[in-house]
Amino acid sequence: MRNKSLKNRKIIITGASSGIGKEMAIIAASRGAVPILLARSLDKLQMIQRHIHHDYDIVPDIHSLDVSDSDAVRLVFNEMIEKHKDIDALINNAGFGVFDYFSEASPDDIKRMFEVNVIGLMVCTRMLVPYMLKRNRGHIINVASIAGKLATPKSTVYAASKHAVLGFTNGLRMELAKTNIHVTAVNPGPIRTNFFDIADPSGQYIANVSRYIVEPEQVAKRVVNVIGTNTREVNIPWTMNAGARLYQFFPRLVEKAAANLLNKK
């Protein structure tokens, strides 16, 4: 059953300064939640804070944080736990991608993608799981990607990082199966955000997959809807998820039949 209200729920959102992170913060606040927002850009977080306060009379807690800095993650999360006491959900949304053929990929970009998309996500989660276990309740929501199920040329490293996120999420869910802590993976396809300013500065990929692009509000609403529910996965759009499912059963066929589509980055 989907939640009808998030009144007074305290929800941490990483990567909250733009895109679906920003939209999730606004939608959650509209339903009465108290968002706790993390991102590198404090200026952008302050703008969102003012917007939410003005529209919903709720003041989000905001913190400047680069999730790839494990020491900073530990400091900020300890501060949040001490300040808020009751934290109901963590949405690990921070992430980025760079689309290059692997033979041309920068070692620095490879390292950075794993530091942010995988290690950062794990360290944030590690800071909250023991706390949630003591309370025997909570929700971990990890934003992965359809790319974690169906890799494509030029997204090789990004897809590998999101595949790692899915593996981690599935394993953590099984570890916590006998508790009241829910673990959900979110697998969006391409979203109309500034993600592609870095991932695809040429704009070619966006042009080629325009029919599959979803709006950030669509994804954010789907994610906020499942907070507090025992939902295994959120997959959007259904067309790309159907392709990923088909690939699991017939990988050789999909790679051959969809070669032109998969090679459009």
Which of the residues are catalytic? 158
Question: Which among 242, 230, 134 is positioned nearest to 189, based on CA atoms?
Answer: 242
Alpha-helical regions (H) of the chain: 19-30, 42-56, 70-84, 107-114, 121-135, 156-175, 195-199, 204-208, 216-226, 238-249, 251-257, 259-262
What is the longest distance spanned by two Cα atoms in the chain?
Answer: 54
Nearest alpha carbon to residue 95 among 35, 166, 9, 33: 166
What is the C-alpha to C-alpha distance for residues 232 and 186, in angstroms, rounded to an integer? 9
Q: Two tokens at 65?
A: 């944080």
